[in-house]
Amino acid sequence: MEKTKLKAILADLTLAEKVGQLVQVTPDFFGNPGEITGPMSQWSMNNEQLYQIGSVLGTHRSDEVKKIQRDYLANSRHKIPLIFMADVIHGYETIFPIPLALAASFDAAMIEKVAAATGAEAATEGVHVTFSPMADYVKDPRWGRVLESNGEDPRLSKVLTESYVRGYQGDNLATEENHIAACVKHFIGYGSAEGGRDYNTVDISDVEMYQNYLPAFEGAIASGVKMVMTSFNSFKGIPVTANKKLIQNVLRHELGFKGVLISDWAAIGELMQHRVAENPHQASYKAFTAGIDIDMMTDCYLQELAEIILAENLTEQLDEAVLRVLNLKNDLGLFENPYRGLKTQVDKTKLRKLAYKAALRSAVLLKNEGALPLKKSEKILLIGTKGTTQDVLGAWSWIGDRQKAVSLADGLTAKFPQIVVMEIDDNQKDWQTVITAVKEADKVLLAVGETSDEAGEAASRANLELSGVEQKLVAVAAQNNPATILITFSGRPLVLTQEAAKTAAIISGWFLGSEMGSALAALLSGEENFSGHLPMSFPRSVGQLPYSYQEMSTGRPKTKDNGQEKYISRYLDEENGPLYAFGHGLSYSRFTFSDFSLSQSSLAKGEKATLRFTVGNDSQIPGFALPQVYFQDEVTEMIRPKIELLKWKQVYLEAGESKTISFVLSPKDFAYVHENLKRYSDPGEIQLFLATSATEIVDKVQLQLL
């Protein structure tokens, strides 16, 4: 539809109809619109108001979408189609690895394919918008929503966030009905909830926000993301949903976002729980004047906004908000086709194959002292709390069918028919039977960890260790069989310090989705090779949290030479560093790195330099290497991390193969946020490190910025 026609529709809307476009409800409001019952009654909503609503949250299936849209259009005066939104986070019906696991692939191209496939499947069921990707910067795995994140590095997160947006949205939403609009979340600071406790207070500096929290949102907006969602938390003492300065100055002006801004679930009403609003009227006023376009699941706008508009003469601002919503519907082609996507189809077999590939690339081999891969001739015992479970999908897999997911036991049995499977639960008492089975096995696989309900939103944890029975199982197995292999199921990094000292191998299996069991079986057998690397460090202790490998320089750093001194930055009872660092990940292949060099030793503004090195596969097993380049700016105006990720590349190498890798560098690559909140680089010396993780340095060179 032409923009002039959109404006004509806007001009013909009544005040109540305009307000309605800014209200979002769930499908149950349309369950029986002939009479006022249920949520409509609780909201004091009449049928006239219902047929002015702008969007619906959380439909499940295409028949539900058809029914609601048909009923709505039959009763709506202007026939403005509803827009249907949903939490499609890591798959719709076919479930892919959780985002934190996908980030372990360090593969932006694959993530773009996963997002496109996810969007295509959701589109067939009538979903128009997904509340994804999550671009929150995270450092604390106690916070359950690290599951939805790209991990602890802002540069990696920005690249992967851009991939999600491109994958979901495609090139033209109006004509590509197999793509859906993306809503990047949560703007901003949600990942810094104090104590890792969901919905808790946030307190970060401007420099920290601009340096680490904004880049992923900048990437999403530059990639054309259609929507942004505000976060539940406060920023500088004001809840983001009512933070006019943050929304107008930073999001709208500095980042240039021109799309729709939506609150998180009930966040406008929750301004009263924050105690910054006395009543729904005041909450609505603060949220709307701050710039919130859509009120998700409260009746604040529905009941209060019209009066506010008239009393405060805010008609122009209202029209701007409504036009943004109409523009989104137009961008999706809904005026021409209110049932967009419902006639499209997806190949479910191809989706499962992609889910399998993504799972292969997302699992991380943390430790291997020769215990893996498994051999067909070996007597294998699978034991633990997670061996037979089909609870492998993770949070936000609400359409996914667990019964169609492949358990680890099923995956392994297909490759090792002789495998023995023993289940353990919290009431385990017969440990002698366990000991006997462990002693009789050549290899023991311990499958342990979290359930889907123990990670995700509202799933914060103060203790990240394995459960008591799982810890005992590890101790019993390791004591009676040195070839004990730990496989963890989780939505976050766990504390595995005790287990790492006892076991021969450790795999972080995350929640890998519908094909988890098949993928892990292929990796354990050596049929496939591990290629995942940690996007978030595994701490040695909860007491280290929040933690990031990007530790800032301090005036009293701990070094190799002063580790026993008292007055330095260290713990008395624990090491400073993590158990497994950001970027860490092992392979069955053996990789070598050489010839790390620069095309020039200095770099002036406007110039570019080429960084080169050779990576080789010095083994008989094909595999993926992940060379990582980090840097340290030697002298800066503001304190900076001791080491920062700069470049990375997944490199596939056949047995005995080598490849030369090059990266083009410019001064902009070393820019950081200064006191004036501007991002630029300083002249001086840069140390460049070739590494296999943030703590495993292979080589280094120096570069002079002029």
Residues labelled as active-site residues:
264
Q: What contacts 237, CB < 8 A, 6 or more positions away? A: none
**β-pair partners for 641:** 552
Q: How many other CB atoms are found less than 10 A from the CB of residue 249? A: 12
**Composition of the chain by helix, strand, coil, percent to 5:** 35, 20, 45
Q: Are 355 and 513 in contact (CB under 8 A)?
A: yes
DSSP code for 142? T
DSSP code for 86? E
Q: Are 297 and 265 in contact (CB under 8 A)?
A: yes
Distance CA 632, CA 212 (A): 16
Distance CA 245, CA 277 (A): 17
Q: Which two tokens stand for residue 118?
A: 């996810």
Going across the sheet that includes 628-633, the strands are: 602-603, 696-705, 684-693, 628-633, 644-648
Distance CA 196, CA 478 (A): 32
Q: Which two tokens stand for residue 146?
A: 């690290």
Distance CA 481, CA 487 (A): 16
Q: Are 128 and 173 in contact (CB under 8 A)?
A: no
Q: Are 148 and 103 in contact (CB under 8 A)?
A: no
Q: How many other CB atoms are found less than 10 A from the CB of residue 565? A: 11
DSSP code for 457? T
Amino acid at position 338, single letter = P
Q: Which two tokens stand for residue 257?
A: 């976002």
Q: Rg of the Cα trace of the chain? A: 26
The gap from C-alpha 380 to its chain's centroid, in whole angstroms, comes to 35
Distances (CA, A) of 680 to 204, 249, 275, 400: 21, 20, 39, 45
**β-pair partners for 593:** 615
Distances (CA, A) of 90 to 118, 346, 348: 7, 16, 15
- Which region, left, alpha or beta, applies to residue 313 given φ > 0 means left and ψ of -120 to 50 means alpha? left
Amino acid at position 295, single letter = D
Distance CA 524, CA 506 (A): 11
DSSP secondary structure of 316-380: HHHHHHHHHHHHHHHHTTTTT-TTTTTT----HHHHHHHHHHHHHHH-EEEEESS--S--TTS-E
DSSP code for 94? S
Q: Are 187 and 134 in contact (CB under 8 A)?
A: no
Distance CA 315, CA 17 (A): 13
Helix boundaries (H) for 87-149: 99-103, 108-124
